[in-house]
């Protein structure tokens, strides 16, 4: 690696993501001059993927489980499709980075990722630029997110970048050598702003749904035994819509089992605690976990007639993991509802 590339890249940290975010925020607050662009609130780097020094996060989107189709080969113009694609299912994260400096080179960013991602444990699957990525045979605008979003990646999106001869889009796809993690990076010039480079990092972690389905729903007896022996029991079958406290329909069986336990043991009171993994902002996760715990209590009262006086809710966010957040299996285990026995 050249000295220039070493200066350009910030290597990933082995520390938990929320500590990285907090530390970065403190450093920016103490050392950055007024007016320096900072990461959007509630965002942070993926722990396995380095960012480009001098860039900041403009936006972040996540989805706990989705199907994603990513180009793994160049565009075949006669066939009107990519020569190869990867269809992935799992946790989806997209981060969009911009630069404070106006004259950043898109090619320099692309070449740096080509070299430093392998040093971070990734193996290159495909890298291309310009006409290799076009879904049209003519120069013009291409919707960059078409290469990043999923099975409908040739759909209609608003974010565009010039694909004229001077401003090609650069794209690469890589897989991690040890974790079931894929990363796609598109680097491009912002539409209408020829001196501004942006790059979008999409990370897909496979097998999240498979991990979740390995867990068999607990019976009322198993829940009761956990409360007797440990004073608490973890429930991993209560699921929520993305970025919401709306309970998904497939959670109804586990909620009915909790209601049955409460009906059989009239002296039992429960504290319902929602936990999260470490992806995202600490305060945001804390607020969302509280809202989701409250939603569970409201559901039991509304749908099963449980006396609200027997139930309390609490949100723990990422503060009490039961597994390492460095793997998807561990993060899946940490996203849970815990029932804690209390006196009503």
Query: Long-range contacts of range 233-241, CB-CB < 8 Å, 24 or more positions apart?
Result: 233/338, 233/339, 234/322, 234/336, 234/337, 234/338, 235/336, 235/337, 235/338, 235/339, 236/212, 236/332, 236/333, 236/335, 236/336, 236/337, 238/296, 238/337, 240/292, 240/295
pLDDT of residue 191: 62
pLDDT of residue 65: 78
pLDDT of residue 114: 95
Q: Name which of 145, 156, 181, 168 is nearest 71 in CA terms.
A: 145
Q: Is the model more confident about 143 or about 108?
A: 108
Q: Is the model more confident about 344 or about 78?
A: 78
Q: Is residue 55's pLDDT more than 90?
A: yes
Q: Is residue 67's pLDDT more than 70?
A: yes
Per DSSP bridges, beta strands 141-143 and 160-162 are antiparallel
Q: What is the mean pLDDT of residues 209-230?
A: 73
Q: Is the model more confident about 271 or about 4?
A: 271
State the DSSP H helix or E strand holding residue 85, giving kind and residue range, or none if neither. strand 85-99
Q: Is the model more confident about 151 or about 321?
A: 321
Condensed to tens digits (0 to 9), the pLDDT of residues 241-299 reads 877 889 988 899 999 999 999 999 989 999 999 999 887 788 888 999 999 999 999 99
Q: Could you tell me what percent of the chain has a pLDDT over 70?
A: 74
Euclidean distance between CA atoms 320 and 234, whole angstroms: 12
pLDDT of residue 3: 42
pLDDT of residue 32: 43
Domains of the chain from N-terminus onward? 3-206 (no CATH), 209-342 (3.30.1330.60)
Q: Is residue 17's pLDDT more than 60?
A: no
Least confident of 55-59, 75-79, 230-234: 75-79
Euclidean distance between CA atoms 271 and 341, whole angstroms: 6
Euclidean distance between CA atoms 145 and 243, whole angstroms: 21
pLDDT of residue 118: 95
**3-class DSSP state of 296:** helix
Give the predicted TM-score (pTM) of the model: 0.51
């Amino acid at each position: 690696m050249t000295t220039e590339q070493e200066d350009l890249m910030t290597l990933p940290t082995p520390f938990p993501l929320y500590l990285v975010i907090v530390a970065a925020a403190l450093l920016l607050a103490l050392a950055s001059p007024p007016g320096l662009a900072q990461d959007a609130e509630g965002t942070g780097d993926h722990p396995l993927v380095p960012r480009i020094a001098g860039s900041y996060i403009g936006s972040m989107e996540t989805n706990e489980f989705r199907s994603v189709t990513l180009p793994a080969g160049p565009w075949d113009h006669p066939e009107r499709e990519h020569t190869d694609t990867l269809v992935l299912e799992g946790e989806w994260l997209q981060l969009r980075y911009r630069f404070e400096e106006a004259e950043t080179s898109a090619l320099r960013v692309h070449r740096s990722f080509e070299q430093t991602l392998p040093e971070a444990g990734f193996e290159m699957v495909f890298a291309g630029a310009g006409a290799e990525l076009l879904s049209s045979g003519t120069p013009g605008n291409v919707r960059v997110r078409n290469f990043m979003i999923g099975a409908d990646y040739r759909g209609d999106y608003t974010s565009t970048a010039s694909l004229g001869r001077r401003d090609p889009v650069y794209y690469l796809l890589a897989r991690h050598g040890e974790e079931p993690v894929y990363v796609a990076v598109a680097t491009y010039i912002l539409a209408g702003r020829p001196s501004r480079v942006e790059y979008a990092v999409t990370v897909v972690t496979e097998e999240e749904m498979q991990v979740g389905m390995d867990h068999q729903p607990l019976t009322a007896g198993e829940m009761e035994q956990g409360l007797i022996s440990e004073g608490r029991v973890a429930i991993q079958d209560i699921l929520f819509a993305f970025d919401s406290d709306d309970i998904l329909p497939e959670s109804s069986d586990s909620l009915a089992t909790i209601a049955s336990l409460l009906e059989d043991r009239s002296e039992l009171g429960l504290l319902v605690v929602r936990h999260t993994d470490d992806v995202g902002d600490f305060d945001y996760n804390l607020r969302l976990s509280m809202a989701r715990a409250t939603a569970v209590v409201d559901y039991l009262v509304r749908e099963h007639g449980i006396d609200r006086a027997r139930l309390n809710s609490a949100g723990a966010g990422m503060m009490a993991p039961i597994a390492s957040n460095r793997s998807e299996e561990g993060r899946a285990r940490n996203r849970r509802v815990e029932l804690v026995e209390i006196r009503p």
